[in-house]
């Protein structure tokens, strides 16, 4: 067990080091290229602070234990839902490129949807372990509880996180042996409607168009996918 934990720490350290190197390489080059007055180390220092914060949270979660985290998941998910709602409050949530996904606290921004990725499945598992039998009625009740944060994430819009959460829930439903007919057809309906709505969002449609026709934006999003693009 100790050897596995040690190897895991080595892998995480290597990935973190590589990520920090890439962040510094990209941001410092941009500052120099555009003759910006910002310090070339600002982004790197921010990432180090994020890494230290993540390490502290990870250590706290380890000491707390997964059983306590499961028991606290209803309260935590409620707090995450409140944070997701605050994104839509003017001057509280940040809007970048037409999407409202970030909260700005003391100069540092973060996405509450990142917490939702973890605690929506955890909350469902915690609820499932307390059920002797899952009926359609109590399954619909739990879906209504987790639907609110999922809808808020879709409205930001954050289609990537929305898709990840739905995919995770499908796996959880399958592993916890929820009756297939309870969730399969509703999920297909939700995905169909969500796909239609997402495609009609300007930023989503532009990404699809550039992916299919990268020559439309060779100096922007189409630079990498276009095979014959020359800088």
Region 34-57: what's the mean pLDDT?
A: 75
- 28-42, 93-107, 206-220: segment of lowest average pLDDT: 28-42
Residue 202 has pLDDT above 90, yes or no: no
pLDDT at 196: 77
- 12-16, 72-76, 132-136, 193-197: segment of lowest average pLDDT: 193-197
pLDDT at 117: 92
Inter-residue contact 74 to 123 (CB < 8 Å):
yes
Inter-residue contact 52 to 44 (CB < 8 Å):
no
pLDDT bucket at 222, cuts 50 / 70 / 90: low
- 16-25, 77-86, 190-199: segment of lowest average pLDDT: 190-199
Which burial class, exposed, middle or buried, applies to 158 when counting CB atoms under 10 A from its CB (0-12, 13-18, 19+)? buried
- How much is the mean pLDDT over the chain? 80
pLDDT bucket at 231, cuts 50 / 70 / 90: very low
Answer with the residue of higher pLDDT: 44 or 31: 44
- Cα–Cα distance, 199 to 125 (Å, whole number): 32
Residue 200 has pLDDT above 80, yes or no: no
Answer with the residue of higher pLDDT: 35 or 125: 125
pLDDT bucket at 38, cuts 50 / 70 / 90: low
DSSP secondary structure of the chain: -HHHHHHHHHHHHHHHHHHHHHHHHHHHHHHHHTT-SS-TTHHHHHHHHHHHHHHHHHHHHHHH-HHHHHHHHHHHHHHHHHHHHHTTSTTTEEEETTEEEEEEETTEEE-HHHHHHHHHHHHHHHHHHT-SS--HHHHHHHHHHHHHHHHHHHHTT-HHHHHHHHHHHHHHHHHTT--HHHHHHHHHHHHHHHHHHHHTSHHHHHHHHHHH-GGGGTTTTTTTT-TT---
Give the residue carrying structure tokens 């707090």.
79
Q: Where are the domains of the chain?
A: 1-64, 74-200
Region 151-176: what's the mean pLDDT?
A: 87
The token pair that represents 11 in the structure block? 């892998």
pLDDT at 230: 46
pLDDT at 210: 67
Q: What percent of the chain has pLDDT over 70?
A: 77
Q: What is the pLDDT of residues 104-139, one digit of tens each?
A: 776 667 888 989 999 999 999 999 888 878 888 888
Residue 57 has pLDDT above 50, yes or no: yes
Contacts of 108 (CB under 8 A, 6+ apart): 46, 49
Contacts of 27 (CB under 8 A, 6+ apart): 40, 42, 43, 44
């Amino acid at each position: 067990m100790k050897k596995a934990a040690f190897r895991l720490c080595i892998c995480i350290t290597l990935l973190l080091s590589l990520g920090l190197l890439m962040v510094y390489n990209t941001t410092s080059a941009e500052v120099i290229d555009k003759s910006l007055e910002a310090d070339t180390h600002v982004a790197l220092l921010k990432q180090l602070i994020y890494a230290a914060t993540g390490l502290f949270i990870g250590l706290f979660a380890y000491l707390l234990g997964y059983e306590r985290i499961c028991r606290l998941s209803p309260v935590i998910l409620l707090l995450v839902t409140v944070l997701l709602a605050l994104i839509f409050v003017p001057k509280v949530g940040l809007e970048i490129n037409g999407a409202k996904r970030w909260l700005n606290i003391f100069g540092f921004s973060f996405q509450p949807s990142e917490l939702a990725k973890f605690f929506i499945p955890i909350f469902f598992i915690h609820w499932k372990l307390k059920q002797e039998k899952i009926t359609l009625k109590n399954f619909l009740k739990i879906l209504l509880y987790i639907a609110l944060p999922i809808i808020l994430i879709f409205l930001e819009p954050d289609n990537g996180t929305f898709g990840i959460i739905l995919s995770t829930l499908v796996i959880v439903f399958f592993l916890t042996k929820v009756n297939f007919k309870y969730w399969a057809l509703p999920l297909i309906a939700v995905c169909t409607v969500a796909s239609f709505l997402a495609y009609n969002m300007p930023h989503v449609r532009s990404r699809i168009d550039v992916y299919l026709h990268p020559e439309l934006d060779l100096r922007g999003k189409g630079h990498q996918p276009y095979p014959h693009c020359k800088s």
